[in-house]
């Protein structure tokens, strides 16, 4: 069947022009001709997403039915949606598209052919189709001939829900239906909603197939050693994985199967606030023709100002992974030699580097800690702890314990080492201390991966119980123990106790956790 016949059979009738699996250059041309954006001085397509400049978690739902009633972790993150309301909203969305041009992309979530999921994406905007063309895995011409999608994602930013009629929270909606295998997005133009919805779909499907899905970046060295970087937004996950001395597998979403690591994506979606060529050359140079930049301010010469957050602090750029020199285009690697948890601790009390045992790895994985900075959000006047289980709770439909068990089993099976790096503050909290130098953090990563830390002495932090190396190549020894960097030692002790208490309080929300994992957390000394 033709694509028009295929879509009509699915209920998408009387459509305007159907643009099917177009190459990036044609999507850029169409986006420009339709007034969806403009070219920056480097040739990237610059767009604005309007009201929604980031994810809208209050508008995200999962259809609750016989399939999901006992398999989804229901709560504030995975909010239930009625199947009948979903069907009605889907019908209204289809009616909205009548007479409108649509852009269709067909590709895969997942680089490993044994586990990948074929997906069809239907977009209202050419620029969003360009984005998803980069962020998902692009099939070969031969694979497209008999392409059969498992899941269909429909994104219509121009269609607004009516909450009283559609049972949504607002005009915007992001709804996953694991039974009908559909994802519906409306009103919100922020492209990250599409990406993260595909990630959430994989996170639900993979555990049943023996794959541990992970919100992490991955790269590989010349010796074939794979490293994973877990971390919430702003912790350096994308920056540290884009290492000129290593090959990038992927910057955000991966699976760990019995065969090894595989990327879920075909591209990168990097945060670009305060981006500089000196600080992050690989990302800087990837912003060229074919790339997409969201919500960046440009001057009259169309030069992007990545320091200007007047539209949003969440400036983003999306580009194919092959824009990164030496990237692993297969998207696959072996079992990881090391896993690195990243946190931007604005309290300034966590060590810049610490080694975790298996129980500590489970504890800090379940905690998923970083912190918000004073002044970044209205009402925040001092650092605030942020915990996101699995370093990606908003995208984990199942109970986080299922993912933690998979990770722990893999660590045991393959002997992977786990470290935690604090890319945040040293010498005091935000506003007093200073941000950890990127050069030091990169040196710590190098030391982990080349084995330099295997034979050095370690000391144990009295409050957090973490093992801290006393020496690390290319890093001043006095930086390694955070207490030593504070002029006011008593202030350090009080701040450390405060953060430890926040960890303990957060962990009270987890039930059925093994006693040895509970004991691996911070100690609340008086």
What domains sit in the chain, N to C, each tagged with a CATH number? 3-34+57-209 (3.40.449.10), 335-518 (3.90.228.20)
Mean pLDDT of the chain: 94
Question: Which are the contacts of 509, defined by CB distance < 8 A and separation ≥ 6?
Answer: none
- pLDDT of 80-96, one tens digit each? 999 999 999 999 999 99
Average pLDDT score over residue span 73-82:
96
Question: Which are the contacts of 300, defined by CB distance < 8 A and separation ≥ 6?
Answer: none
- Strand partners for 420: 341, 354
Please tell me the total number of residues recorded for the chain in this structure: 526
d(CA 353, CA 18): 52
Average pLDDT score over residue span 222-227:
92
d(CA 116, CA 118): 7
pLDDT at position 525: 52
- pLDDT of 148-172, one tens digit each? 999 999 999 999 999 999 999 999 9
- Give residue 233's pLDDT band: very low, low, confident or very high (50, 70, 90): confident
d(CA 384, CA 405): 28
The tally of CA atoms less than 13 A away on the side-chain side of residue 355 is 23
- Quote the tokens at residue 2: 């033709």
pLDDT at position 279: 84
Average pLDDT score over residue span 102-122:
98
User: Cβ of 365: how many Cβ atoms within 10 Å?
Assistant: 24
- pLDDT of 329-374, one tens digit each? 999 999 999 999 999 999 999 999 999 999 999 999 999 999 976 4
What is the set of active-site residues? 55, 196, 215, 233, 237-238, 252, 316
Closest residue by Cα to residue 220 from 249, 259, 255? 249
pLDDT at position 236: 86
Alpha-carbon torsion (349, 355, 360, 364), positive or negative? positive
More confident residue, 305 or 523: 305
Alpha-carbon torsion (70, 75, 77, 83), positive or negative? positive
With beta carbons less than 8 A apart as the criterion, state whether 199 and 212 touch: no
């Amino acid at each position: 069947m033709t694509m028009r016949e295929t879509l009509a059979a699915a209920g998408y009738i009387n459509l305007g022009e159907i643009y099917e699996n177009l190459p990036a250059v044609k999507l850029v041309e169409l986006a420009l001709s339709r007034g969806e954006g403009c070219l920056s001085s480097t040739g990237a397509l610059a767009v604005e997403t309007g009201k929604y400049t980031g994810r809208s978690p209050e508008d995200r739902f999962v259809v609750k039915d016989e399939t999901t009633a006992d398999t989804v972790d229901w709560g504030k993150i995975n909010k239930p949606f009625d199947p009948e309301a979903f069907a009605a909203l889907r019908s209204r969305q289809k009616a909205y598209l009548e007479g409108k041009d649509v852009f269709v992309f067909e590709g895969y979530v997942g680089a490993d052919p044994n586990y990948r999921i074929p997906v069809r994406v239907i977009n209202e905007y050419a620029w969003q189709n360009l984005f998803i063309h980069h962020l998902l895995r692009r099939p070969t011409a031969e694979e497209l001939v008999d392409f059969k999608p498992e899941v269909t994602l429909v994104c219509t930013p121009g269609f607004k829900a009516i909450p009283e009629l559609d049972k949504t929270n607002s005009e915007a909606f992001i709804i996953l239906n694991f039974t009908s295998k559909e994802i519906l997005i409306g009103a919100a133009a922020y492209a990250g909603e599409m990406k993260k919805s595909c990630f959430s779909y994989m996170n639900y499907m993979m555990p049943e197939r023996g794959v541990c899905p992970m919100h992490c970046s991955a790269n590989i060295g010349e010796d074939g050693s794979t490293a994973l970087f877990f971390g919430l937004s702003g912790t350096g996950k994308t920056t540290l994985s884009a290492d000129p001395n290593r090959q990038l597998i992927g910057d955000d979403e991966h699976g760990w199967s019995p065969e090894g690591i595989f990327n879920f994506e075909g591209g990168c979606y990097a945060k670009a606030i305060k981006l500089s060529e000196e600080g992050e050359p690989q990302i800087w140079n990837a912003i060229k023709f074919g790339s997409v930049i969201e919500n960046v301010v440009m001057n009259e010469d169309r030069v992007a100002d990545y320091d200007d957050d007047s539209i949003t602090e969440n400036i983003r750029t999306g580009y194919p992974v092959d824009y990164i020199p030496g990237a692993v285009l297969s998207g696959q690697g072996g079992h990881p030699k090391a896993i690195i948890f990243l946190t931007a601790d604005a309290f300034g009390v966590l060590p810049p580097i610490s080694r975790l045992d298996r129980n500590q790895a489970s504890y800090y994985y379940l905690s998923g800690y970083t912190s918000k900075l004073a002044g970044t959000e209205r009402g925040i006047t001092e650092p605030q702890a942020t915990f996101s289980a699995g370093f990606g709770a908003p995208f984990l439909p199942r109970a986080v314990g299922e993912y933690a068990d998979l990770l722990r089993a893999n660590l045991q099976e393959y002997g992977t080492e786990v470290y935690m790096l604090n890319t945040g503050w040293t010498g005091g909290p935000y506003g007093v201390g200073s941000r950890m130098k990127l050069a030091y953090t990169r040196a710590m990563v190098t030391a982990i991966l080349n084995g330099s830390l295997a034979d050095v002495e370690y000391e144990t932090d009295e409050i957090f119980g973490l093992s801290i190396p006393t020496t690390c190549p290319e890093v001043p020894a006095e930086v390694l123990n955070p207490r030593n960097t504070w002029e006011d030692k008593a202030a350090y002790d009080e701040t450390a106790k405060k953060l430890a208490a926040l960890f303990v309080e957060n962990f009270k929300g987890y039930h059925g956790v093994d006693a040895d994992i509970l004991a691996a957390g911070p100690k609340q000394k008086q």
